[in-house]
Amino acid sequence: MGSIFTEALRLIVSGDREVFFIAFTSLRLALASTFFASLLSIPLGIALHFGRIPFKRPIISVLSALMAVPTVVIGLLVFSVISRSGPLGELNLLFTPGAIIIGQVFLVLPVLTSLVYSGLSRMDPRFHETLITLGARRGDVLKASIIEARFIIISAVLAGFGRVVGEVGVSMMLGGNIRWYTRTMTTSIALETSKGQFELGISLGLILLAIALGINIITHSLVKNDV
């Protein structure tokens, strides 16, 4: 076991081309999906908190339930839409990086929306009351509240990124785990472990662990600053 771990470290330190290609592919796809999901979920979370939306409570309950949906279920649903027999089959998206991004967007969308909404709900209500007392208009109150909650929103985005960078079901089903194209860290770890080649799997696992640790450190730092 010691020699396997040593070889895994050597792959990282030596800058093995395949290891870092897989790692950068995972990061690229996760960043893209988190970005597109943020464009939708952050405004939706803000609207759920500040807006007078019909059926708000049922919507929030559905979003909370969707957070627990397994990644393979999301992958199956997207697969049925973009496969050759699906309504978007003519776009030839299946087994491409774009397919992974689409699946990850649907995966992280309810997570980001729920985290933004719950974070805004924990804000001191006296903040809004003070602004209104000082004569601030509704638009000014909304803008000031978003600025005040910036660390909450950033923490939610980081949590969403952590969710997609470590998922395996969507990437495997929609990307096909194609070498030098759609292979990610999680799919590579699953493949190499099943083949009994632990060195590459462990090296990618160490990189994934370092990314997760970095996200946690940044998130805790933001929460501390917000307090």
Q: Which CATH class is domain 2-226?
A: mainly alpha
Instruction: Label residue 51 exposed, middle or buried (CB < 10 Å: 0-12, 13-18, 19+).
Output: exposed
| Model confidence band, residue 185 (pLDDT cutoffs 50, 70, 90) | very high
Q: What is the pLDDT of residue 106?
A: 93
Average pLDDT rounded to a whole number, residues 197-207: 88
In order, the DSSP letters of 131-199 are: HHHTT--HHHHHHHHHHHTHHHHHHHHHHHHHHHHT--HHHHHHHTT-TTTT--HHHHHHHHHHTT-HH
Q: Tens digits of per-residue pLDDT, 112-127?
A: 999 888 888 877 666 6
Domain regions of the chain by residue span: 2-226
What's the pLDDT score for residue 11? 85
pLDDT band at 5 (very low <50, low <70, confident <90, very high): confident
Compute the distance between CA of residue 155 and CA of residue 209 in angstroms, rounded to an integer: 18
- For 42-78, the pLDDT digits (tens) are 999 888 887 777 888 888 888 888 888 888 899 999 9
DSSP structure class, residue 91: G
The span from the CA of 116 to the CA of 121, in Å, is 9
| pLDDT classification of 198: cutoffs 50, 70, 90 | confident
Token pair of 27, please? 């990061």
* Look-up of token digits 């109150």: 141
CA 10 to chain CA centroid, Å, is 29
Residue 143 confidence (pLDDT): 75
d(CA 118, CA 45): 8
pLDDT bin (cut points 50, 70, 90) of residue 3 is confident
Please state the separation of Cα 160 from the chain's center in Å: 3
Nearest to 47 by CA among 97, 130, 113, 100: 113
Instruction: Provide the whole-model pTM.
Output: 0.87
CA 122 to CA 17: how far, in whole Å? 45
Residue in 90, 93, 97 with CA at minimum distance from that of residue 78:
93
pLDDT digits (tens, 9 = 90+) for 204-214: 999 999 988 88
Q: How sure is the predictor about 132, in pLDDT bands with cuts at 50, 70 and 90?
A: low
At 225 the pLDDT is 61
Give the per-residue pLDDT at 226.
57
Residue 6 structure tokens: 């040593």
Q: How far is the CA of 195 from the CAs of 177, 184, 188, in angstroms?
A: 14, 16, 10
